[in-house]
Chains A and B, each alone.
Chain A
C-alpha cells in the first residue's frame, strides 16, 4: 500500500496555476525524486501533502488518510528555506521539534543525541544554534526532520547549500531511511543526486507532470545515440533515425554518429547488423543522461548537472 497517493491534484493561487492535475504515488522504502525547475510546483505539492496549504481540487492520501497535522509524528520534513531559533541549543531544538511531533521529551532527547553523534555534533549538543557554523546548523535541522524516525520523509531541495561532505552524509541518511522502510521524497534540480539515489522520478514542468517512472524508463524517453565504424551505410538500417559521417569519407570503414528512433533499443540494431552481415569495427552506445532527459522534458532552466 502506498504511503502517499496524490490524485488529480490542482492548486491555483489567483490566476496562477501552480499544480496542474498531478497524480503520483510513493511506496514504503521507495526513494522518489521530485524534479523540476524553479516554480515547477514541487514545494507547493509538498506543502499540500503537509496540510500547510489546501489543494484547489484533487485528493491526497497520506499514511492512509487525508493530510492532517496529527500525522506529523510519522512525517519528517526538511524545508528548502532553512533556519532555527538562534538562541536555542542544538539538542533543545531537536527535542522541541520531537515534542511537536508528539514524542516524549526523554525519547526525543535520546534520539536527538543519537543523531548528533552520527553527525559528529555530539560535543556541540548544548551549543546555541547562533554559535554554530551554517553547515552544523543544517545538520541540526536535518536531525529535527529525522528525530521521529518518520514513515514518510520529505526533503525539499535538501542538497542546496551543503558542502560535499554533508551531501554525502545526507545521501547516507536518505538510504538509511529507505532501508528501514520509510518512503523518501526529495525535490531537487541537481541531477547527480537524483540519478544516484532515486528508485523512481517525477518530472514537473509548470505544475504539470511530464514524466513518472524509473531512471531506465526515463532514459528510454530519449533516442539512444551511437558511434559506430561500419563497412556499409547505416542509414538504411531499420530503427535508425539518422546517421552522420564523422570525418572525411572513407573507402571501406567509415565512422558514423548514429541516432536511433525513440523507443528503439540499440541491441536490436546490433542484432540486425549481425544478421545482415553489416561489418562493424566499433560500437559505442551513449545513453541519455538524466540531465539530457530533464532538459528535453522540462527545459534547461534551473538545472544543475
Chain B
C-alpha cells in the first residue's frame, strides 16, 4: 500500500514542480522580502520639510522658532541614542553623557550638555569605540525640518503679493522650494497675527511647535514689559517639571514584547495558510485533470481509491513543506548576509518557539493543518469535472477557512485572547492556525494537548468521510452532486 502511495505522491510532486505557477510562487516571497526594504527605503520620505520664516519684527521670533525645532531634533536624537545604548548595553561609551541615561525626559540642560559634548558626531565616535562585532551601527533619524533663508522675491512682497509669491514658490518645481512659509509681521508682538502658508496640509506637530514657541516668546516679552528682568522672564518661561521616565528596555515592553514574540508564530500561521491555498489549488488541478482526462479507471484498476487520495495528500504536503523549507532557507541566507541586524531581531522572536516541545507542537499542528485542509481540496477535485465547476465549491470553502483566520490574526496582533480566539482554537478547521498563532502569547499545555487530540480525531473522521466521498465520486463523471447525492456518498461504504 505504502509503495503505491509513494508512487502517487512522487507523481504529484513532479507534476506540481513542472508548473510555472509553482516556481513563480516559490520565488515571489523571497523576492518580495528582498524588495520590501529597498522599496520601503525608496518610499520612506526621509527628506526634511523645508521651512522659510520671514520675520519682519526684527528676527527674534525666527531665531526662537529655529532654536525650538533644533532642540526638538536633538531631543529625538538623544532619545534614539538612549534606546540604542540601552538595547546593546553600551553605557560604557560615555557614562556621564545624557544619551547613556535612560530615566528622564531630556531637558534644555541635557540638550545643551549634548551639544557641548560634541553632538551626534562625538556620540557616534564614542559608541564606535565600544561597539562589539555584530551590533549594528547607530543611524540617526533624519531631521524633521530644515530652515532656509527667505528668497528675495518673497521677502520683498506685501499683502496679497506675499500670498501670490508663496503660491508660486510652492508650485515651482525647484528641488529646494519651501514647503512651509511663516510670516511674522512688522508689528509683532503688538499685532500677534502670524501667517502660515503651506504647500500641503500643515503638519499638526509643526503648528503645535510654532504656537508653543511664539506663545512662549510673547509671554516672555509681556513679562519683561511688566517689569521683570529679561533673565527672570526667560526663567519663568523655561520653568518645567523634571519628568523621570521609566520604560522597559527595548523588546521588553508588554506590547512590544508580545509583538516580537508573536512574529514567528504569526508568520507560521500565515505561511501555513498561504502554502495551503497554493498547494491546495495545485492538488485540485491535478484531481480535475485526472477526471477530465478520464484516466481514473486505469488508475483504479491498479490502486485503491484511498491510496490515490493519500498519495495526493502526501504529494501536496511534500510540496508545501518544500516551499516552506525554501522560504526558511532564504530567510536564513538573508539573516547570514545581513549579519547581526536580522539575527538580532530574530533571536527574541525565536525565543518562544525554540523549546523542543514547542517545536514538536509546531510540526504537529503544521502537518495536521495541511492534511486537514488539503483533504478538502482533494475531495472537491474528485467531485467536479472542470476547474470552473470546482470554483463553485472552492469559494465558500475558502471564505469559511480564511475569514475567521483574518480576524484571528488581527485579534492576536492586538494581544486579545477573547471568545473568538478561544472558539477558533477549539474548532478543528481553524485549530492549527489558532494554535500556531497563539504560541507567541503563550498557550497552556492542556490546551495544546486537548486541541491536538481533538484535531487528530477530526482528521481521522474527515479522512473516513472524505475518503468515502472521494471513492464514490471518482467514477461518477457527468453527475451533478446534489446535496442528497453528497450525503449518500458520505455514507457509502463501498459501491
What chain A residues lie within 8 Å of B15 (beta carbons)?
A: 85, 87-88
**Given A54-B495, A72-B301, A79-B301, CB of A84 within 8 Å of CB of B7:** no
Point out the residues of chain B lying under 8 angstroms from A53, CB to CB: 475, 494-495
* A100/B303 in contact, CB under 8 A: yes
Q: Which of B4, B293, B494, B495 contacts A83 (CB 8 A)?
A: B293
* C-alpha spacing A53/B11, complex, angstroms: 25
The answer to whether the Cβ of A242 comes within 8 Å of any Cβ in the partner chain is no
The answer to whether the Cβ of B298 comes within 8 Å of any Cβ in the partner chain is yes
For A79, the closest partner residue in chain B by CB is B297
A72 and B301 alpha carbons, distance in the complex (Å): 7
Structural contact, B295 and A85, CB atoms closer than 8 A = yes
Tell me the complex Cα distance, A223–B224, Å. Answer: 139
Whether B299 and A100, one on each chain, are in contact in the complex, defined by CB atoms closer than 8 angstroms, is: yes
A75 contact from B292, B295, B301, Cβ within 8 A: B301
Complex-state Cα separation, A77 to B303, whole angstroms: 12
B18 an interface residue at 8 Å Cβ cutoff?
Answer: yes
Pick the residue among A84, A88, A100 that contacts B4 (CB under 8 A).
A100
Cβ–Cβ contact A69 & B304, under 8 A: yes
Interface residue? B289 (CB, 8 A): yes
* A245 beta carbon closer than 8 Å to chain B: no
A99: which B residues are within 8 A, CB to CB?
A: 7
Compute how far the CA of A100 lies from the CA of B299 in the bound complex, rounded to whole angstroms.
8
Which of B7, B298, B300, B303 has the largest number of chain A CB atoms within 10 A? B298
Q: Which chain A residue lies CB-closest to B474? A: A52
B480 located at the interface, meaning its Cβ lies under 8 Å from any Cβ of chain A in the complex: no
Is B403 interfacial (CB-CB < 8 Å)? no
- B301 with A85: CB separation less than 8 A: no
B245 within 8 A of A: no
Closest Cβ–Cβ distance, residue B115 to chain A (whole Å)? 71
A100–B303 Cα gap in the complex (Å)?
7
Are A77 and B494 in contact, CB atoms less than 8 angstroms apart? Answer: no
- Least CB distance, A98 to chain B, in whole angstroms: 10
| B298/A144 in contact, CB under 8 A | yes
Q: Kindly identify which residue among B289, B302, B307 contacts A85, using a CB–CB cutoff of 8 Å.
A: B289
A82: chain B residues within 8 A (beta carbon): 294-295, 298
Nearest-CB residue, chain A, relative to B300: A52
Range, interface on chain A? 20 to 34
- A77 close to B298 (CB less than 8 A): yes
Binary flags per residue of A80-94, CB closer than 8 Å to B gives 1, else 0: 111111111000000
B301–A96 touching, CB < 8 Å = no
> With A85-B15, A87-B15 known to touch, is A50 a contact of B301 (CB < 8 Å)?
yes
In the complex, what's the smallest C-beta–C-beta distance from A197 to chain B, in angstroms?
A: 22
Any chain B CB within 8 A of the CB of A97? Answer: yes
Residues of A near B3 (CB, < 8 A) are 102
Report whether A85 and B293 are in contact in the complex, using a CB–CB cutoff of 8 Å: yes
* B4 / chain A contacts, CB cutoff of 8 Å: 100
A86 and B293 in contact, given A52-B475, A100-B7 (Cβ under 8 angstroms): yes
In the bound complex, CA of A102 to CA of B303 (Å): 10
Whether A101 contacts B289 by the Cβ 8 Å rule is: no
Within 8 A of A (CB), among B1-52: 3-4, 7, 11, 15, 18
Instruction: State A1–B328 Cα separation when bound (angstroms).
Output: 61
Q: Looking across the interface, which residue of chain B has its beta carbon closest to that of A78?
A: B298
Complex Cα distance A69/B494, Å?
A: 15
Q: Is the CB of B289 within 8 A of A86?
A: yes
CB distance B298 to A69 under 8 Å? no
Bitwise, B157-174 to A at CB < 8 A (1) or not (0) is 000000000000000000
Tell me whether A141 is interfacial, beta carbon within 8 Å: yes
In the complex, chain A residues 286-300 whose Cβ is within 8 Å of any chain B Cβ: none
Binding site for A on B (CB under 8 A): 3-4, 7, 11, 15, 18, 289-290, 292-295, 297-304, 307, 475, 477, 494-495
A sample of 11 inter-chain contacts (CB < 8 A) reads A47-B297, A47-B475, A77-B298, A78-B298, A79-B301, A82-B298, A83-B292, A84-B295, A100-B4, A100-B303, A101-B302
Chain A interfacial positions (CB closer than 8 Å to B): 13, 47, 50, 52-54, 69, 72, 75, 77-88, 96-97, 99-102, 141, 144-145
